Amino acid sequence: MRTLACLSLLAAASAAEIESTSFAETLRDPMEIAVAPDGDLYVVEREGRVLRVRPSTGGVFEIGNIPVTALKQAESNSPWAREDGILGIALDPAFAKNQRVFIYYSHAKEMLNRLSRFTLKDGKLDLASEKVILDVASDRRDRVCHHGGSLAFSKDGLLFITTGDNTNPFESGGVAPIDDRDGRDHVNAMRSAGNTNDLRGKVLRIRPTEDGYEIPAGNLFPPGTPKTRPEIYVMGCRNPFRMSIDPKTGTIYWGEVGPDAGDPGPKGPRGHDEVNQAKKAGNFGWPFVIADNKPYPIVDFASGKPGAMTDPAAPKNPSKHNTGLTDLPPAQNAFIWYPYAESPEFPVMGKGGRNAMAGPVFYYEPGRKYNLLAKEDDFTLLTYDWMRGNIWKAKLGDGEKLVKIEPLIGGLKHPMDLEMAADGTVWLLEYGTDWYFNKDGRIRRMRPADGNKPPVVKIASSGNVHTATASDPDGGEVSIEWWLTEGAGELKVGSGPSITHVSGGSELRAVATDAKGKTAVARVALVQEQALPALALELSGKPSQLGFGEELAFAVKGAADASKVVVRARYIPPTGHDAGGPQFSSEIEKLVTAKQCLACHQVEKTSVGPSYLDVAMKNRADAGALERLRAKLKTGGAGVWGEVPMPPQTAVTDAEGETIIRAILALSEGMSETRGSAAGKLALAPKPANAGSGGAWEITAEAPGFIPAKTRIAAK
Ligand code: HEC
């Protein structure tokens, strides 16, 4: 049986060793973690589950499930909502007494993200207790993303909420998405992040009350200022993803996921991620400046021409879709900033994909139970990066200035949130290996190594009899307790090496404790999830990198009928978020919607007619495809994909037909595919014209009735 307490000693660069123990290793896209005063952890998952995790017994309890808009595994081709879901959680400062939690989530029906307060009842999330605190309008179509969603309470009871610019980053060439043309709202962050009268692209700061919230003093615009929202503390954010508050100074830190331009050009600087510091309310500049106040020109998207350059000291929002002030507060520098390439200012941040986040500020406190870092690290900000899988320590000095940055830990599985508990334990949430549908998200507990290793425990099961074998690497005695998960709670059901379990419960755990009180957990699932058989994909030579145009040899194991296997390789650019697979632009989406094509076709899924991606893949090497498919729209017909005919598409003009077919054929860009062959070769797609450095190849093997196999390999 799986042993849950996987211990590893992480060699911290210069300081003492860190003991890292992982818990709850089967989380599904966990988004944010909150530590309760009693040591329990609360975790929200993207698709809607709310969990309580009890580190002392290894228990993981589903305490609620909030209906949300989110990309769901059962519907993995839904064209929107790729970054929606449950976004964040914070516990009320008086949680021990009032059992209140704040959750920020994408509403299941309305186009908004909602901050609500829930009250736990008997340890469970009571959906009926929902008290809506604040709604933030959200567009979901046209591949808009960036919702932020981090929640944090300051020590004086103020709640901070980060919100993203809710803008499509894929149609502005990796510079500022400031397309001011009508109908292009989704590519215009001037309507959101740069708008003083809009809650998106902000850090909001409110004081929750029994019935809602109040505006505390010190926000960016005094209440009553025309064309502004008083909730705004920080404006000018793109995707402020995870934030933290210095427990002593109250200064806030957040990671800002930046745009994609690999190189500077006439339309603006190269993209940078940022770690930001705000000691007071301010404008952090997006979409008018980036990094250390590198300005963007106001580009006219109709002509493609760059216009007036932004003045960081007096930025303006000239958009006709701006409902707020034209003259904005002066832009603030980022605290740390880095592009895809190696950063000249902060080379220690490395290079490649990026997704900056900010964790807690560490203070060395001799009286506290645990100090993760050494005394000389007193007053250090922990920053991390979801893409790079690293944590850094950023030493702070006089005036909260940055003194130096050093790497702390690497090799993490998409670090998603980092929280410090009152006793000094640092909890790290890892999102899992993939972009979506992970089942290997986990929680790591980090404490300074103390020389005593935790025990090791395993369970062997034979019918109803479960036997735990435990040992202590330090050679001491180990005791065992058995815990049974029942619903959202647990029962102690025995002690000693073995137990006969008769009925009830969903999971049985053996908790082994050594003489010094260190524990390890092994678990047995009593209720098997209905699982489909899985495919396995083996790449010859186990490459660590793959280049455009290269040939990849592979074998797929597990499928009964090899002729049904489809293997695909898709290039994923290093954008810091999943580009979401092949999709139509919003114009094409509107056209095919208006012409009723979507009644029978979807981009990636077979419907009445073939998926458009299948059409694109089939015709990719065929120079005559454009003409033939255009003609087929007029005549209709059957027999190419099956018996069902397509009726003649009489509502489509010649010009529209050509536009649509071109867009369909373009869906195959960057894709390679082979079919009907479980062992074979795949030629990776040639380099697309606009490819930057970095990125990855995602190789998938699928067959009906099987769990697909999927792997990602870095692109050369
Ligand atoms: C009533 C259902 C229906 C509608 C509406 C429809 N299609 Fe089709 N489409 C089909 C079917 C069924 C096929 C497969 C025909 C075949 O096997 O030859 C098909 C095939 C196609 C093909 C591939 C043709 C080939 O020979 O490979 C294209 C391209 C296509 N459709 C585009 C469109 C577009 C664009 C629209 C909207 C203007 C549209 N379809 C509307 C049902 C439909």
Q: How many residues does the chain have?
A: 716
Distance from residue 165's CA to the centre of ligand 1 (Å): 37
Pocket test for ligand 1, best of 588, 596, 598, 600 (most atoms within 8 A of CB): 600
CA distance 40 to 167: 36
Listed residue (143, 147, 121, 168) closest to 68, CA to CA: 147
Q: Whose CA is nearest to atom 36 of ligand 1?
A: 597
Predicted local confidence at residue 327, as pLDDT: 98
Q: Whose CA is nearest to atom 3 of ligand 1?
A: 600
* Residue numbers in the chain where pLDDT is lower than 70: 1-16, 73-81, 529-531, 575-581, 688-693
Predicted local confidence at residue 586, as pLDDT: 77
Pocket test for ligand 1, best of 601, 607, 643 (most atoms within 8 A of CB): 601
- How many CB atoms sit inside 10 A of residue 439's CB? 14
**CB-based pocket (< 6 A), ligand 1:** 595-597, 599-601, 608-610, 615, 629, 632-633, 637-642, 644, 646-647, 649, 652, 660, 664
Listed residue (399, 373, 348, 194) closest to 283, CA to CA: 194
Distance from residue 287's CA to the centre of ligand 1 (Å): 41
Nearest-atom index, ligand 1, CA of 608:
12
Cis bond before residue 287 (omega within 30° of 0): yes
Nearest-atom index, ligand 1, CA of 637:
18
Distance from residue 561's CA to the centre of ligand 1 (Å): 28
Q: Two tokens at 679? A: 């062992």
CA distance 229 to 202: 11
Rounded to the nearest 5 degrees, what angle is found at the Cα of 268, between the Cα atoms of 162 and 238? 5
Distance from residue 646's CA to the centre of ligand 1 (Å): 5
Distance from residue 77's CA to the centre of ligand 1 (Å): 19
Listed residue (42, 40, 45) closest to 66, CA to CA: 45
Phi-psi map region of 496: left, alpha, beta (phi>0 left; psi -120 to 50 alpha): left
- How many CB atoms sit inside 10 A of residue 524's CB? 16
Predicted local confidence at residue 11, as pLDDT: 47
Distance from residue 596's CA to the centre of ligand 1 (Å): 11
Predicted local confidence at residue 2, as pLDDT: 46
CA distance 260 to 628: 37
Nearest-atom index, ligand 1, CA of 642:
17
Contact 297, 310 (CB under 8 A): yes
Q: Is 182 exposed, middle or buried, given 0-12, 13-18 or 19+ CB atoms closer than 10 A?
A: exposed
Predicted local confidence at residue 80, as pLDDT: 60
Instruction: State the maximum Cα–Cα separation within the chain, in Å, rounded to a whole number.
Output: 81
Whose tokens are 């396995």? That residue is 536
Predicted local confidence at residue 8, as pLDDT: 55
Task: Convert the pLDDT of each residue in 132-191 to its tens digit.
Answer: 999 999 998 778 889 999 999 999 999 999 999 999 988 888 899 999 999 999 999 999
Contact 236, 201 (CB under 8 A): yes
Q: Whose CA is nearest to atom 39 of ligand 1?
A: 597
Q: Is 615 exposed, middle or buried, given 0-12, 13-18 or 19+ CB atoms closer than 10 A?
A: buried
Distance from residue 594's CA to the centre of ligand 1 (Å): 15
Contact 373, 399 (CB under 8 A): no
Q: Whose CA is nearest to atom 33 of ligand 1?
A: 597
Distance from residue 397's CA to the centre of ligand 1 (Å): 65
Distance from residue 662's CA to the centre of ligand 1 (Å): 14
Predicted local confidence at residue 4, as pLDDT: 43
Whose tokens are 């932004």? That residue is 310
